[in-house]
């Protein structure tokens, strides 16, 4: 595909949305075609699936149902938005993708990383990001940030116990070792300016490698 696929991952409150929003603005200003999107969601059907998964009242949801719903929303989002954008040559920045399923459902829920990877192979047809920025925050710091954010709706996964969120972070550490060629960890405990500069440099390097000498950013 002509475009480049970049994802942002991390535990709750790591600052992914803040930083990739700023990177999208920089790249657009530099003249690149950018699609900024998120999972679960980004298009109508996937947003509908998102509200089912994340509704705090759906406490009886089975772990495998949850994993399948994330995979279903991913499939529709890829088919309808991400793949067409990559085919047009865009830079696609996506807030969460398959690694969230592997860390949350595969590891923290205990389904198994390999099992969740397998169902996602069907959903993605093997598509993986070119670059994944992993925002590495201490769990308590991230949860503290979202607790302070009055504009954010509390969702079903936010309400999980601290132990669950710690397992999510452990899951991401396993993924960093498994996918060192595409996953890049950034210390997300630091201030926004430091994190933004570090993430932007990594994105610009990847964009330069991908698009070659015609790069103008
Ligand atoms: N480096 C930072 N230091 C302090 N506060 C931050 C930092 N980055 C983001 N924040 C604040 O923390 C809150 C969560 O940030 P943001 O929504 O970007 O995180 P996120 O990783 O997308 O969260 P989630 O995936 O859990 O929704 C926001 O109120 C944001 O302003
Ligand atoms: C894609 C994906 C997400 N999750 C979880 C992670 C968060 O708790 C929510 C999404 O909320 P956000 O504010 O948009 O980050 O869903 C997951 O468990 N599995 C996934 O595949």
pLDDT digits (tens, 9 = 90+) for 63-76: 999 999 999 999 99
Any domain includes 105: yes
| CB-CB contact of 92 with 85 (8 Å) | yes
Any domain includes 100: yes
The C-alpha atoms of residue 72 and residue 46 are separated, in whole angstroms, by 8
* pLDDT average, residue stretch 21-32: 97
Domain that residue 184 falls in: 4-211
pLDDT number for residue 216 = 55
Query: Minimum-distance ligand to the CA of 197?
Result: 1
Radius of gyration (C-alpha) of the chain in whole angstroms:
17
* pLDDT average, residue stretch 15-34: 98
Evaluate whether ipTM surpasses 0.90. yes
The C-alpha atoms of residue 76 and residue 54 are separated, in whole angstroms, by 17
Q: 100 C-alpha vs ligand 2 centroid, how far in Å? A: 6
Q: How far is CA 18 from CA 13, 24, 145, in A?
A: 10, 10, 12
> Would you say the CB of residue 72 lies under 6 angstroms from ligand 2?
no
Any domain includes 70: yes
Any domain includes 199: yes
> Would you say the CB of residue 16 lies under 6 angstroms from ligand 1?
yes
What phi and psi, each to the nearest 5 degrees, are found at residue 164?
A: -60, -45
> Would you say the CB of residue 145 lies under 6 angstroms from ligand 1?
yes
Average pLDDT, the chain: 96
Q: 211 C-alpha vs ligand 2 centroid, how far in Å? A: 30
Index of the ligand 1 atom closest to the CA of residue 10: 21
The C-alpha atoms of residue 138 and residue 187 are separated, in whole angstroms, by 9
Q: What total number of domains does the chain contain?
A: 1
Q: For 153, which DSSP code?
A: P
Range name among 92-101, 139-148, 151-160, 193-202 with the lowest pLDDT average: 151-160
Any domain includes 45: yes
- pLDDT reading at 217 higher than 60: no
CATH of the domain at 119: 3.40.50.300
């Amino acid at each position: 595909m002509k475009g480049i696929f970049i994802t942002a991952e991390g535990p709750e409150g790591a600052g992914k949305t803040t930083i990739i929003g700023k990177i999208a603005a920089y790249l657009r200003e530099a003249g690149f075609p950018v699609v900024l999107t998120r999972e679960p969601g980004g298009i109508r059907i996937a947003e509908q699936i998102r509200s089912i998964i994340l509704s705090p009242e759906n406490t009886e949801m089975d772990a495998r149902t949850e994993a399948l719903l994330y995979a279903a929303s991913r499939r529709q989002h890829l088919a309808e938005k991400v793949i067409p954008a990559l085919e047009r040559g865009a830079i696609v920045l996506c807030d969460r993708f398959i690694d969230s399923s592997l860390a949350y459902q595969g590891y923290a829920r205990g389904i198994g990383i390999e099992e969740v990877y397998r169902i996602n192979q069907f959903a993605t047809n093997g598509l993986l990001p070119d670059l994944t920025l992993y925002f590495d925050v201490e769990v308590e710091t991230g949860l503290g940030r979202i607790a302070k954010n009055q504009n954010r709706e509390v969702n079903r996964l936010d309400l999980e116990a601290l132990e669950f969120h710690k397992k999510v972070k452990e899951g991401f550490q396993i993924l960093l070792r498994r996918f060192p060629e595409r996953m890049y960890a950034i210390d997300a405990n630091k201030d926004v300016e430091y994190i933004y500069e570090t993430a932007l440099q990594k994105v610009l390097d990847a964009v330069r490698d991908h698009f070659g000498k015609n790069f103008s950013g």
